[in-house]
Structure 1
Amino acid sequence: MMEINRRAFLGLLTAAGAVAAMPALANQSRAIPGVYASASRGEDGRYYLNVVAQDALRVTHLLPERAHQVLFHPKQPWVIAVARRPGTFIDIVDYDSGLLVKQIVLAKGHYLYGHVQVTADGRYLLTTEKHPDQQEGQVVVRDLRANFDVVQRYSTGGIGPHELKLTADQSEVVIANGGILTEGREKLNLETMQPSLAYLNLASGKIVEQVALDERYHQSSIRHFDLSANGDVLIAMQYQGHPADDVPLVAHHRRGQPLTALDIPTPVRTQLKQYCGSACFDSTGRFGAVSAPRGNRVMFWDMTSGQYLSDVKTKDGCGLAPTDVASEFIVSTGRGRFYRVNAATAERQRLSLPGEAIWQWDNHMVRLAG
């Protein structure tokens, strides 16, 4: 597909009433619009969990090692940080007091893949993990009302699971099986890897649907994705083959349909270094964003049509989260900056954050709902 003309696209949005409340970014406040959390690296070389509200750091919690994903608990004033693969800790912090609620440390030989979910009722914490006696990954369920103990383990149906998301009705978990067998950070099976997107039914413990790209793209590792309220999945991939290969890096899925690659214009795709970091839907579910930190870009699609819309340049920008404005996202970067970006207008606004130069924001960011 060709990139849509910006003026034509804005005309379509205006006709649909989608830009009625879309003020120019230059006219908006530079304060961060809401409460966001991310893992980070400080200027002292240590790793932290940070909560940012408006134009201030609300929480700065020292972590034992580098974290990956962070998540707000849906019922308690808690924020959760999960160790980067192959780490073994989960820190749960009260963001009102800044105090550690619980630190979970995995048993010897087990490790995390860096991602977490909590059920909507706040009771169960789910992570993707590696068991020392199994090649396939696991979804591990812990009961937060029972001393955070493990109460269930399910196979993910693939090797190297990363991100996972609960469906809106909480009946299933969607899992990105990256396909890469690892020892520590070493990749062992790149010639035979088989990534997939899997749907796990929590009642039966069975994989009820599993999809993959064409076999020729088996080295496009499915790592990260977002799941909209209506069940659309936007996938960010990392290619493990030759740097010059023309392969899919972004894809879309809906239950019962094939996994479909999304178009990226060639001049953009060739700058991405075969690596996409985070995927995110806007507050409406219509617009999708994918970050490519090695290519210093964030790209946007209209998910109703799969049409590539635009992109903005952000040096080492990876973390993505929506605002409450249609087509708008916040981007965090490894250079300590936050930006507000708009998929419809391709605008970018640098936001104000005291002490920003001392923080290197990690790959993922989350917004506190409400």
Structure 2
Amino acid sequence: MPQFPALFFTVGSFMRVADEPSALDTEFESAPPPTSRGRIVLVVAVALAAGIGLARWINHHGGPTFQGRLTAHTTVVTASRPGRLSDLLTAEGDRVRIGDPLVTLADEDLQEQIQQQTAEVARRQVELETAQAQAALEIEWRQRAIDNEIHEIRLASAGYLKEKFEHELQRSMLADLLTSGEVASLDDGSDAFKSLVLEEQMPSSRRVSTLLQMEAAANAAEVSSARVEMCDADLKRLSSVRDRLPELVRNASGVDVAESRLAEATAQLERLKARQTSLTVHSPAIGVVGVFQKRPGDHVKPGDVIVELLDDARCQLTVEVPSEYIDDIAPDCEMTLTFPGREVRSGRVVSIAPQARPRTDAVGLGETSVRVRIEQAGELWPTVPFGSRVDVQIAE
């Protein structure tokens, strides 16, 4: 590697030769002394060549210094709906995890809709309670009426059953009398009893009368039996009506309709509240909260950037390299980085933009730069704020 002292000595020697001709004669005794103008030209040419060589050596061996900015892989958090930023739930620089709340939005129209729907739910609730109270009174009144009717039918059925047994008993006794001729022990003061107290031979007229009485008793027993069956059928019908009475009265009183309206109003309120829940913006990634682009009171539209989350575990440098130096840089090339505080670290080139673009700080026309990204290599980089400027050089 060339040494600076020797190079500057050579240039200084020529400068001194230009000022002191005697020294030039001493230095080059074997050469014929040129004219004074030739000496000046020679000195200038040598000095120019030495300056160009020095500049090329510095550029290619000492390496030019580029300015880079420390950046991080970012996750952009945007608004998914229109609204007004209500509150910041985190501070800049806080570390957040996935799902942590970041900000809340306010939607005046949605809040008004929720209030109106809440009042609608309350009104439907009162309507349902009124219908239920009316149905309860109607059910109680109708159940009492049915119970009374059932009681009366049961009493009637018991009377019909008693009559049936009496008619059957009378028929049985008359039948026994006709077949055995014995005296019956039934004394109810009727003509039938008198006809049962007979002599040995029953007159034929009395015998016909007894047969007719037996037939009448059989018919009366059948009538009583039919009435008992009718009572049983009425009891079954009334029991069925009593069991279905609450449902029938609820339908007639409009309880089902009121319940349906209340359920619909409640579902609508839940949907509105779910929309209100979405007004809280949550973190989609792990990282550090950057600078908020929106402040409380600002109105946002869908897609507006609210904040960026910085992944400090994946830091990188972004360097705009003048295009005339890009040939000296290649992927995986090692770079020397000087952070604020003169802390020196290493980095590795991970990507080089395929296209140059005009330099924003260029003075002359046609100057371009190429974006180069550098990631950590070797010792961990020091902790400095994102966006800090870092000096970048090609490592020797």
Query: TM class by shorter-chain length?
Result: under 0.3
**Structure with max Cα Rg:** 2
More helix by share: 2
TM-score (norm 1): 0.17
TM-score (norm 2): 0.17
More strand by share: 1
Higher RCO (CA-CA < 8 Å; seq separation 6+)? 2
